């Protein structure tokens, strides 16, 4: 099958990847390979960064057999692309300054008749005089001046998805480019036309697709996959026990055995990614969250049996 476009996995280098992250990476790889696409890895390091985490994550992916088909890029090196996109929107009058604090945003979003988490455009109609006075007090964030109330996308797993599109942030007030702008620009620049990621990001897909349409960029094919969760239904995190390859190695679990557990959770045969790819069918993958109980999934190996010693002073001659 000829290659067309690319899929990707884009972790934030905030620490080691846990098995839920690795499961999503495996799925992204399987989706890309099963459709003849390249597979790319991107490091989303605009925000949370822990020293050494990037190298750890790339090593963890490689241990599973997942490698990028092109050099790994980092968002921290793509500032010129984000600035160009932001300038385009600014020149078209599609951006405005926002001086709201987090508390202001939370209170506005909780007002009656406002979508949960929806920014109602509090700063959209400030006069130039008001903006000048507010700039003296604080640096503004930049928000998109949305021209729609909602937008729709087609998801390979979730089907038709519509969600509200508010005046979301493009650049934070600390000068950092916001995720929604960065990811749209990055995907287009890398030729990524298939986005496989956790379904906690499903509601952000319409926003990103709308922004891509404004920038004249292609909208990728989306597939939002179920997350790994705790028995209480919380999204799995490293604090939930032995859930990283490093932790599991200390319990005696080799990487191939961990991969087999991850593939088994998807109803796929173990042994290798290639063996799983041979039978992978997105239409048959589980649609419910993967409930993870680390102590049950990864019990410590049994201690080696040993013969009881006999005290020498009780041995008869």
Q: Angle, nearest 10°, between helix axes 19-34 and 255-265?
A: 70
| SS3 (DSSP) at 216 | coil
Q: What is the dihedral of CA 188, 190, 194, 196, to 10 degrees?
A: -110
d(CA 173, CA 268): 46
Angle between helices 204-215 and 179-189 (to 10 degrees): 60
Say if residue 107 carries a ligand binding annotation: no
307 is in an annotated binding site: no
Encoded tokens for 294: 């680390």
Residue 118 labelled as part of a binding site: no
8 annotated ligand binder: yes
Strand residues in the chain grouped as ranges (E): 6-9, 38-43, 73-74, 95-98, 141-144, 150-155, 159-164, 169-171, 194-198, 221-225, 228-229, 290-291
31 labeled binding residue: no
Whether 42 has a binding-site annotation, put simply, is no
Binding residue per annotation — 44? Answer: yes
The verdict on whether residue 112 carries a ligand-binding annotation is no
Rounded to an integer, what distance in angstroms lies between the CA atom of residue 204 and that of residue 198? Answer: 11
- List the one residue out of 132, 130, 122, 131 whose CA is nearest residue 100: 122
Q: Write down the residue that tokens 């179920």 correspond to.
A: 226
Instruction: Find out whether 306 is annotated in a ligand binding site.
Output: no
Q: Is 316 part of any known ligand binding site?
A: no
- Is 197 known as a binding-site position? yes
Q: Please answer whether residues 172 and 139 qualify as being in contact, where contact means their C-beta atoms are separated by less than 8 angstroms.
A: no
On whether 98 is known to bind a ligand per the annotation, the reply is: yes
CA–CA separation, 120 and 115 (whole Å): 9
Q: How far apart are CA 208 and CA 185, in angstroms?
A: 10
Does the annotation place 238 within a ligand binding site?
yes
Asked whether 144 and 211 are in contact (CB, 8 A), the reply is: yes
Binding residues: 8-12, 44, 98, 100, 119, 123, 179, 197, 238
Binding residues for L-glutamate: 8-12, 44, 179, 197
Binding residues for Zn(2+): 98, 100, 119, 123
Binding residues for ATP: 238
């Amino acid at each position: 099958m000829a290659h067309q476009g690319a899929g990707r996995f884009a972790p934030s280098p905030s620490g080691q990847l846990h098995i839920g992250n690795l499961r999503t990476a495996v799925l992204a790889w399987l989706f890309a390979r099963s459709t003849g696409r390249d597979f790319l890895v991107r490091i989303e390091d605009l925000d949370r960064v822990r020293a050494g985490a990037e190298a750890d994550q790339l090593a963890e992916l490689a241990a599973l057999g997942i490698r990028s088909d092109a050099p790994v890029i980092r968002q921290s090196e793509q500032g010129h692309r984000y600035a160009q996109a932001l300038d385009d929107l600014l020149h078209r009058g599609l951006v405005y300054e926002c001086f709201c604090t987090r508390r202001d945003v939370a209170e506005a979003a909780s007002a009656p008749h406002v979508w949960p988490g929806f920014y109602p455009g509090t700063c959209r109609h400030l006069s130039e005089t008001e903006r000048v006075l507010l700039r003296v007090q604080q640096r503004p964030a930049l928000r998109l001046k949305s021209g729609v109330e909602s937008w729709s996308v087609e998801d390979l797993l979730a089907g038709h998805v519509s969600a509200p599109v508010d005046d979301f942030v493009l650049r934070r007030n600390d000068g950092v480019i916001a995720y929604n702008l960065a990811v749209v620009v990055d995907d287009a620049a890398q030729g990524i036309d298939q986005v496989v990621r956790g379904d906690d990001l499903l509601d952000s897909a319409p926003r990103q697709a709308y922004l891509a349409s404004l920038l004249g960029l292609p909208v990728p094919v989306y597939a939002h996959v179920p997350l790994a969760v705790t028995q209480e239904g919380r999204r799995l995190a490293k604090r939930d026990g032995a859930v990283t390859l490093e932790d599991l190695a200390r319990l005696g679990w080799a990487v191939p055995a961990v991969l087999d557990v991850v593939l088994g959770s998807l109803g796929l045969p173990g042994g290798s990614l290639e063996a799983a790819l041979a039978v992978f069918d997105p239409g048959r993958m589980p649609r419910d969250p993967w409930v993870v109980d680390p102590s049950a999934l990864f019990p410590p190996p049994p201690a080696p049996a040993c013969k009881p010693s006999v005290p020498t002073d009780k041995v008869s001659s």
